[in-house]
Amino acid sequence: MIRFSLTLPFRLLPIALLCGFLQGAAAQQKPVDPAALAATLKTMDTAAANFRTTQADFEWDRYQKVIDEVIDVQMGTIYYRRAGKGIEMMADVKKAGPSAAEVKPEPKFVLFTGGKIQMYLPKPDQLTIYDLGKNNADFESYLVLGFGGSGQDLLKAFDVTYLGPATIAGVNTSELQLVPKSEKVRNTFKQILLWINSQGISVQQQFTEPNGDYRLATYSNIQSKDKIGDDVFRLKTTGKTQTSSHGG
């Protein structure tokens, strides 16, 4: 049995998770533009209402402030689909390394479904299952930030500020700053930045921790499809896979 918090799941997804460093001008409060904010949130509402499936290529960078460097980079393809009232996600990590210039093939699969995170390493054929328990709703709410989550839901959980237009990898976006209303959440992420494209999808996300470390996630080749096959959301374990479980 382990103690569970928001921190552990997001270490599995260094988005996070997580090109727009949270320093200098980006950290300063900018004038609120109510009309632009409302328009961006409305675009997200429309995307959420129509959301069925999405897939995208990703790069997840983890930055450590104390040494002022990116210390971990992961690249691959991510898949989302609506499953009943919830969301399923599969991250197919193809490459990893200490920097973008040093990544090498390092396959890993992270599946979120049914309130559990399942992380499978083909080599050495190990599966680790984390039961999110009461943290399931919190974790899912972060998964859908910009990928099926509505603008109105953002307003319920965050103080949202429109920071202005920004271009990310040639894509025109609207930059939003989210400050969690919950003190518990602020202890994990003091603020989140989203860059939302004209279709209401997040092409970049930055999750910043209280100590200044952050996870930056950049998405490209974003595709919305009518259906993604069940096989994508299935881990290819073997009869010899070693399995361990935590949480619950």
Ranges of H-type helices in 97-236: 136-143, 151-157, 183-186
pLDDT tens sequence for the chain (248 residues): 333 344 444 444 433 333 333 233 333 455 567 899 999 999 999 999 999 999 999 999 999 999 999 999 999 999 999 888 788 999 999 999 999 999 999 999 999 998 899 999 999 999 999 998 888 887 887 888 888 889 999 999 999 999 999 999 999 999 999 999 988 888 989 999 999 999 999 999 999 999 999 999 999 999 987 788 899 999 999 999 999 998 76
What pLDDT shows up at residue 31? 53
Tokens in use for 227? 């259906």
- In 3-state terms, what secondary structure has residue 79? strand
Contact between 214 and 207 under an 8 Å Cβ cutoff? The reply is yes
The torsion region of residue 207 among left (phi > 0), alpha (psi -120 to 50) and beta comes to beta
The model carries a pTM of 0.83
Contact between 87 and 140 under an 8 Å Cβ cutoff? The reply is yes
CB count in 10 Å sphere of residue 171: 16
Identify which of 137, 132, 136 has the alpha carbon closest to the alpha carbon of residue 247: 132
In a domain, 2, yes or no: no
Q: Could you tell me which residues come within 8 angstroms of residue 170 by beta carbon, excluding any fewer than 6 positions away? A: none
- For residue 110, list its beta bridge partners: 91, 119
In a domain, 238, yes or no: yes
In a domain, 1, yes or no: no
What pLDDT shows up at residue 91? 95
Q: How far apart are CA 107 and CA 95, in angstroms?
A: 6
| Residue 25: DSSP 8-state | G
Q: CATH number of the domain that 35 lies in?
A: 2.50.20.10
What pLDDT shows up at residue 151? 93
Overall domain count for the chain: 1
What pLDDT shows up at residue 244? 94
Q: Which domain holds residue 46?
A: 7-18+29-247
- In 3-state terms, what secondary structure has residue 106? strand
Tokens in use for 163? 């920071």
In a domain, 24, yes or no: no
What pLDDT shows up at residue 214? 95
What's the first-to-final CA gap in the chain, in angstroms? 8
In a domain, 72, yes or no: yes
Contact between 91 and 109 under an 8 Å Cβ cutoff? The reply is yes
Q: Could you tell me which residues come within 8 angstroms of residue 130 by beta carbon, excluding any fewer than 6 positions away? A: 4, 8, 9, 12, 116, 117, 118, 119, 245, 246, 247
In a domain, 187, yes or no: yes
In a domain, 97, yes or no: yes
Burial of 182 (0-12, 13-18, 19+ CB in 10 A): exposed
| Residue 91: DSSP 8-state | E
In a domain, 23, yes or no: no
Round the CA-based radius of gyration of the chain to a whole number and report it. Answer: 17
What pLDDT shows up at residue 68? 95
- For residue 177, list its beta bridge partners: 161, 193
